[in-house]
Copies of this chain bind each other. A is one copy, B any other.
């Protein structure tokens, strides 16, 4: 039986993880579920996030899977233990790979994590980073405007730059040694350029910006015992994509996936 990799996200941002998976493991089949009817998870309570994440995982597990990947940082931060307990196959979240990437990138071990309200409130990144390196100093900041700016297609606009300044300048003013920023939400890579600009204008040293999508793909390769591809190959695996609501898919999906979607199936969960 051919098993697929199941990828779960609160919406379409998780397609950035699919993009990295298809580069690293071009022969794997992927089944994606975006809970677009209930997106965003970032403002919901841990209890509600866990409830919806388990419903979504149950749907994915109706298909033969080799592993489940939780692209959504908020779900990873709040629902991973419950999801792992309910799954017969390994479950990979976004937080652990993102935390490890940050530690690898940081020289001074002064790391700032940006995320949704739910991710930041969970404390999951601090726990993951300090479990690996007790000496690391972690500050966190919720940036609720970043997701709607990315979805409006304004990720590189002057308004996004003003918003990034308003969030980040006080952070850098208070924590001058930050040398690494974790984009702890699948949408934030769409604001990478404006975040980099604020880093440059606020700091006199270089700041590394890491996101977890590529690290998640490497983690999937290790878990499956596959050697990740070094050179870019066109993916030969299939991609089956389910959503719980079909609004704005054609507009938003290619922004995250970097290719157009062949198929999109609507499911009531």
Interface residues of A (CB under 8 A from B): 36-39, 43-45, 47-48, 51-52, 117-118, 144-145, 147-149, 151-152, 154, 158-159, 162-163, 166, 244-248, 268
Q: What 4 A-B pairs have minimum CB-CB distances, sorted nearest first?
A: A45-B247, A48-B245, A148-B148, A37-B48
On chain B, the residues within 8 Å of A52 by CB distance are: 37
On chain B, the residues within 8 Å of A154 by CB distance are: 145
How near does chain B come to A43, taking the closest CB pair, in angstroms?
Answer: 6
- Contacting pair A152 B162 (CB below 8 A): no
The docked-state distance in angstroms from the alpha carbon of A246 to that of B36 is 20
The docked-state distance in angstroms from the alpha carbon of A166 to that of B152 is 12
User: Per a CB cutoff under 8 Å, which of B45, B118, B247 touches A48?
Assistant: B247
On chain B, the residues within 8 Å of A163 by CB distance are: 159
On chain B, the residues within 8 Å of A246 by CB distance are: 45
On chain B, the residues within 8 Å of A43 by CB distance are: 39, 151, 247-248
On chain B, the residues within 8 Å of A147 by CB distance are: 148
User: Per a CB cutoff under 8 Å, which of B38, B162, B166 touches A38?
Assistant: B38
The docked-state distance in angstroms from the alpha carbon of A44 to that of B48 is 19
- Contacting pair B145 A152 (CB below 8 A): yes
User: Per a CB cutoff under 8 Å, which of B37, B45, B148, B162 touches A159?
Assistant: B162
- Contacting pair A245 B45 (CB below 8 A): yes
On chain B, the residues within 8 Å of A151 by CB distance are: 43, 144
- Contacting pair A247 B44 (CB below 8 A): yes
Q: Among A36, A52, A159, find the residue whose CB has the most chain B CB atoms closer than 10 A.
A: A159
The docked-state distance in angstroms from the alpha carbon of A44 to that of B246 is 8
On chain B, the residues within 8 Å of A37 by CB distance are: 38, 44, 48, 52
The docked-state distance in angstroms from the alpha carbon of A158 to that of B166 is 11
On chain B, the residues within 8 Å of A39 by CB distance are: 43
A149-B145 contact given A48-B247, A246-B45, A247-B45, CB 8 Å threshold: yes
Nearest B residue (CB) for A151: B144
- Contacting pair B248 A117 (CB below 8 A): yes
5 contacts between A and B (CB under 8 A): A37-B48, A43-B151, A44-B245, A144-B151, A147-B148
Further pairs besides A144-B148, A144-B151: 20, Cβ < 8 Å: A37-B38, A38-B38, A43-B151, A44-B245, A44-B247, A45-B245, A45-B246, A45-B247, A47-B245, A48-B244, A117-B247, A117-B248, A145-B145, A145-B148, A145-B154, A147-B148, A158-B162, A159-B159, A159-B162, A162-B162
